[in-house]
Amino acid sequence: MHMISRRLGRLVYLTAPLALTFVGIVLLSLGVAYLFIHTYRTLEGLPPIFSLLTLQFIPRLWRGVLLLTVGVGVLGYGLWRLSELVVIPVDEHTQSPDGELVVGFQHAERPPQVVVLSGGAGMLVLASLGTHVEKMTCIVPIHDPVEYYYRAAGLFNFQNVYYVVPTPTPLDVVAELDDGQHVDVRHIALNPSLADRHVERLMLHDPAAAHTALPRLVAETIRDADAIILGPGSLFESILPNLLLDGFRQAVAQSRARKIYICNLMTEPGRTTGFGVGDHLRVMKQYAGFSPDYVLVNAQRIDPDVHRLYAAANQSPVYLSPEEYEETAVLAGDHDSQRRLVIEGSVVIEADLSSSVIQYTATLENPNQSRAVRVLRHDGDKLTATILELLRRT
């Protein structure tokens, strides 16, 4: 109803002209009707087709009802089509060489509504996308309100960017590692001894919490979305936890929005050690119940110094490997008919999505001493450009 009223509201400047036009059409129709009646009653020997065209085989009352119904339908459709136009009121002081103002205008399609499912850092990376969409709603993870709410609060400085919470209270998320250990998913990165492990299973500490009712605002936001962006962010800590909720998972799976997964640049120690693109997608399908429509993978090769820095932390780049390819596909709107790879039913798109940045780090042993290191991060501008291009051509 909001969309209908907003669209019909564009006709506010045409109310008086449309009313006069309607009265004129009614008077014209009555005049034509009287001429038909006069012709029908005064002329003899009219062909049978004339009786058929004037609906003489239908009782007069139902003839009127039928014509009124058709007329209202045609008029309503005409007004709806007219509401596609933007009406620009011109005051009497507007000057032009010929005393007229001619405006050529093509009504653009509504900007997309986007939902982002990520952690606080990922939301900030994508925040610039808000200037290109009608609304960007960030849904924070279910388990760490302090960190993520704090980061999400910074989104208030960005245009058309909002954030919502999926549950009224935070929920604990537990990861079962490949050696059988059960660890709070937030604590894995804090334990260097777990660096060579990976997550085998993700679960809620309280299994009954999976049936927590989804807030109406969250359900409606997912339902109305044109695109759902999963990431950037930790697969097991930022993206998958919300999908452990039955209602959330069903809402995302049933949404007609395009689902776009932004794959990690690097593996995560203790969580995705040894994972390739296919492994990320198989885990996503396991917990989400669907494969994303598109997967964005960083194609930029990493500087050797940066590579060695990550290798020392048990991290490696997440690249495509030839054995992961299932088939190739051609995206709709690809002018060059470039073939894209398909893995686990998802179209994989390689693009330059990252930038090297200088980050200052300190240790708990020497908090006053810091050192500068080059790290790889998703580039917000590159991601925004890639996502917008994908939405435009699909």
pLDDT in tens, the chain (394 residues): 655 666 566 566 677 777 777 888 888 888 887 777 777 677 777 777 767 777 777 887 887 788 888 888 887 777 777 766 555 554 444 444 444 444 444 444 678 999 999 887 888 899 889 999 999 999 989 987 665 555 556 666 788 888 888 888 899 999 999 999 999 999 998 888 999 999 999 999 999 999 999 999 999 999 999 999 999 999 999 999 999 999 999 999 999 999 999 999 999 999 999 999 999 999 999 999 999 999 999 987 777 778 888 888 889 999 887 777 666 655 555 544 455 788 888 999 989 999 887 766 655 566 566 667 778 889 999 999 999 999 887 6
Closest CA to 160 of 195, 122, 128: 128
Start-end of H helices in 103-165: 120-125, 145-153
Give the Cα separation of 155 and 358 in Å (integer).
23
The H or E element containing residue 204 is strand 199-204
Strands 227-230 and 258-262: parallel
- Positive or negative, the CA dihedral 182, 188, 190, 191 is positive
* pTM of the model as a whole: 0.70
Domains of the chain and any CATH numbers: 2-82 (no CATH), 113-172+211-393 (3.40.50.10680)
User: 296 and 349 in contact (C-beta within 8 Å)?
Assistant: yes
Beta bridge partners, 356, equal 376
